[in-house]
């Protein structure tokens, strides 16, 4: 019975250098992960954000969508994980990031069927995640933004 906890701990220690290297890479590029707050958002804020995202996607307006993103944006592709550091980079790559599958998932999402957990709010089957973020240490204010896009295979 004691073998299972030992194996778990060994797996965690083995993964630690990879996790640390990702954090180091972000720091080297000047990227600071935001502190995400699920509990700071009201139901009205969540619903309003989803409506705004759907309106921007429906109008196929990359600049409007870029204003609804928290940077750096994590983009997970089947072959690689990347970060989009700025709105201008997002707009340049909009058609690659917000593919027809991603746009369809956003437009089909119903507010009352949003999955939510400590990481934020999931659109579709995980194509897009959004959350509240705090720009300062004491979270005296916050904003809602897309934090991750998972591109299909």
Give the CA distances from residue 44 to residues 36, 54, 83, 124, in Å, rounded to whole numbers and listed in that order: 18, 15, 29, 20
Chain position carrying tokens 């600071």: 32
The pLDDT value recorded for residue 68 is: 98
HSE-CB at 138 with a 13 A cutoff on CA atoms is 1
CA distance 71 to 13: 29
Output the pLDDT for position 39: 56
Element (H, E) at 94: helix 94-97
Look up the pTM and report it.
Answer: 0.74
pLDDT at 60: 96
Predicted pLDDT at 137: 77
Helix axes 100-108, 43-58, angle to 10 degrees: 140
Give the pLDDT confidence score for residue 30 in this predicted structure: 40
Task: Report residues of the chain scoring pLDDT below 50.
Answer: 1-37
With 0-12 CB in 10 A as exposed, 13-18 as middle and 19+ as buried, what is 121? buried
**pLDDT at position 32, please?**
39
Q: Is residue 134 within 8 Å of residue 37, measured between CB atoms?
A: yes
């Amino acid at each position: 019975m004691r073998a299972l906890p030992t194996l778990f701990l060994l797996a965690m220690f083995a993964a630690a250098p990879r996790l640390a290297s990702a954090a180091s890479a972000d720091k080297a590029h000047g990227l600071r992960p935001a502190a995400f707050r699920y509990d700071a958002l009201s139901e009205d804020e969540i619903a309003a954000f989803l409506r705004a995202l759907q309106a921007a996607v429906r109008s196929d307006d990359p600049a409007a969508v870029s204003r609804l993103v928290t940077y750096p944006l994590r983009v997970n592709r089947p072959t690689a994980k990347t970060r989009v550091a700025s709105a201008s980079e997002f707009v340049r790559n909009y058609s690659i990031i917000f593919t027809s599958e991603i746009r369809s998932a956003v437009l089909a999402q119903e507010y009352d069927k949003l999955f939510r957990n400590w990481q934020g709010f999931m659109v579709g089957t995980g194509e897009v995640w959004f959350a509240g973020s705090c720009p300062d240490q004491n979270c005296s204010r916050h904003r809602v933004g897309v934090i991750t896009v998972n591109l299909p295979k």
